[in-house]
Structure formats: C-alpha cells, structure tokens
Copies of this chain bind each other. A is one copy, B any other.
C-alpha cells in the first residue's frame, strides 16, 4: 500500500484534525467525544441533523457539515459504523430541543449502533428519529426496498432532509420527508478496481484486467456479478435499464441525478458517463432538473462509480433548490 500517512492507529484522528484546521471558522470537535464534529453556527429552534457512518468514504460524511446541511457528524473507524457513544454525542451537539434526525447508510452495523444511541437519547428525553438510506437497487429487489444498502443516494437524502429542518419543519414532517425522499432515490454502482483499506493495506477484491464488478457496495462488498468491461455506452445502458425498472412507474417525470465517483475514476470518465445517462433519461421522457458529478461517496481510491436518480415531488424539488453550503458540496441556483 502506498498511502501518505503517519501511523495507521492515528489516521482517523489525524484526518479529523486536518479537516477542523482547514475549516476552523466553521467546524469544531465535540468536547464530549473526539469522533464528533459539529457546525459552529447554530440555527435556533430547528430539528438537528446528525449524519454518520464508517470512515473511508470521504467526503461523506463530515464534508456535508454546513449551512442548510448537517449539524453534527458521528465518525466511525474505517468502514465501521460509529459506536453508540459517538452517535449519542453527535445527537447532543445537534439537539436544540426540537428533536434530532439521524441519517446514515443502511448497514447492519450502522442500524445497530444508531438504534442503541437512539435508545440512550430516549432515556435522556431527546426525541430521535433514525433513517437508514437504502438506495442501492443492486442489493435487494424492489419488494425489499428498505433492506437495500445505502450508497451515494445519501447525498440527496441529506440535502433535502436538512433543507426541511432548515425551513423549520417539525420532526414528524422531517421524518415523513426523509422516508419519501429515501423511497424515491435509486442508485446502482460498478467497481472497476479495488481501493485499499488503509488499516491493513489490502485490496477489498481482485478483478481481472478485463473484468468489472457490477452492483458492488461502497465497502468493496462483492456485487451482483463480475462481467467483462464494456464501452461506456453499453455499460450505462445496462445500468439505466436496471434503474428504469424502478422509476418507470412514477407519474412524476422530473428527476435529479448524481454521477458519483468511487475514488480514482477520473472526472473525464464521469462526464462521459453523464453524457450517456442523461441521453437515456431524456429519451424515456424524464426531465433532468439538476445533475451533480463528482466524488461524494468514495471507497478509498477505488475505481468505479454509481448512478443515482431521484424522482422529485414538488415538495422535494423545493427542498433540493434551497441554497446549501458545506466544504465538499454546495447547491446554488443560478451562477
């Protein structure tokens, strides 16, 4: 493994220190738990937004702390959900008396730890709602949508639920929006070359030079199948067809799209992919309201990418269009 770091024992701490130094005016470390960062500026009387998960997916999650975005983040070890104590501390930092909503990817570890934290917060009288994002259509069939794992769809769910909180909506309304927004978000990914886990220096999987992993997870978990590498056109068509099964039944036709790089896939490739995807969506009668392209949810330096499509409602559209600013994601209408 060739990575620039000090000892492997301190990678998370060193990374968080660097981040807080870079963002010193805006972001601070929780006094209760050094795996928790929070946004310094508080907006009074709103539902708190906690996000979190394992490390190794940067800029998710801490890169989304910001205005009209997340209030606090619970940071786990590499690819491991944060502990209940860490999540609880994040809840404390985000809580302003209106309740807290926690958003995380749907993985056994995250569900277990966030659920425990919620139980602990309950005993303190803090109302907490947990929502596990489950956008990865490759991981379970439609009938088991809530069992799917969470991948880059996190971005849209966090964006919109945080906007709802920033608008002053109640915890109940935020929860309803979170569910709806998660339900309307569909992603699929492929792996092209494994990244390496910085703790053990090992690749997550091995592929032949002409092979890709179709439908893989963002921790390098194997996907649906290994398949030969094909052209961007053919690959995106295959992926789009899988997405189309999920979205074709909607009467609403306005969508937002995210083409997410997993680490080392170049922006050049991501835009070549974008070109194919938008054509396919438009040919099927969808109206692409906005497209974001970049590395939001990574797996270390894995080569690969995911496509995310969210079917908008009027409400979600309004939330999506709200201005938002954070170190690694921003949204601004008209520039």
Q: Let me know if A6 and B193 touch, CB within 8 A.
A: no
Tell me how far the C-beta of A52 lies from the nearest C-beta in chain B, rounded to whole angstroms.
16
Q: How far is the CA of A17 from the CA of B232 in the complex (A)?
A: 14
Of the residues B3, B193, B305, B335, contact of A266 by C-beta under 8 Å: B3
Of the residues B67, B195, B273, B303, contact of A335 by C-beta under 8 Å: B67
Tell me how far the C-beta of A226 lies from the nearest C-beta in chain B, rounded to whole angstroms.
13
Q: Using an 8 Å CB-CB cutoff, how does the interface string of A114-154 with B read, 1 for contact, 0 for none?
A: 00000000000000000000000000000000000000000
Q: Let me know if B301 and A303 touch, CB within 8 A.
A: yes
Interface members, chain A 221-246 (any B CB < 8 Å): 229, 231-233, 235
Classify the secondary structure of A's interface with B: mixed
A322 at the interface (CB under 8 A from B): no
Known contacts: A26-B335, A274-B21. The answer to whether A269 contacts B5 by CB under 8 A is: yes
Interface members, chain A 260-279 (any B CB < 8 Å): 263-276, 278-279
Q: Let me know if B269 and A3 touch, CB within 8 A.
A: yes
Q: Let me know if A275 and B18 touch, CB within 8 A.
A: yes
Known contacts: A295-B295, A301-B264, A335-B66. The answer to whether A18 contacts B272 by CB under 8 A is: yes
A48 at the interface (CB under 8 A from B): no
Residues of chain B within 8 A of A4, CB atoms compared? 192, 229, 232, 235, 265, 269, 272-273, 305
Q: Let me know if B330 and A330 touch, CB within 8 A.
A: yes
Residues of chain B within 8 A of A233, CB atoms compared? 6
Known contacts: A21-B278, A301-B303. The answer to whether A266 contacts B58 by CB under 8 A is: yes
Q: How many copies does the complex hold?
A: 2
Known contacts: A55-B268, A266-B263. The answer to whether A193 contacts B18 by CB under 8 A is: no
Q: Let me know if B326 and A2 touch, CB within 8 A.
A: no
Q: How far is the CA of A299 from the CA of B55 in the complex (A)?
A: 25
Name which residue of chain B comes closest to A299, CB basis: B266
Known contacts: A63-B267, A274-B21, A300-B266. The answer to whether A229 contacts B291 by CB under 8 A is: no
Q: Let me know if B335 and A301 touch, CB within 8 A.
A: no
A314 at the interface (CB under 8 A from B): no
Residues of chain B within 8 A of A66, CB atoms compared? 335
Contacts A2-B303, A267-B295 known; list 14 others, CB within 8 Å: A3-B269, A4-B235, A11-B272, A15-B275, A18-B275, A21-B279, A21-B288, A55-B268, A58-B266, A66-B335, A263-B264, A263-B266, A325-B330, A330-B332
Seen from chain A, the residues whose Cβ lies within 8 Å of a Cβ on chain B are 2-6, 11, 14-19, 21-23, 25-26, 41, 55-56, 58-59, 63, 66-67, 192-193, 195, 198, 209, 212, 229, 231-233, 235, 259, 263-276, 278-279, 288, 291-295, 298, 300-301, 303, 305, 325-328, 330, 332, 334-335
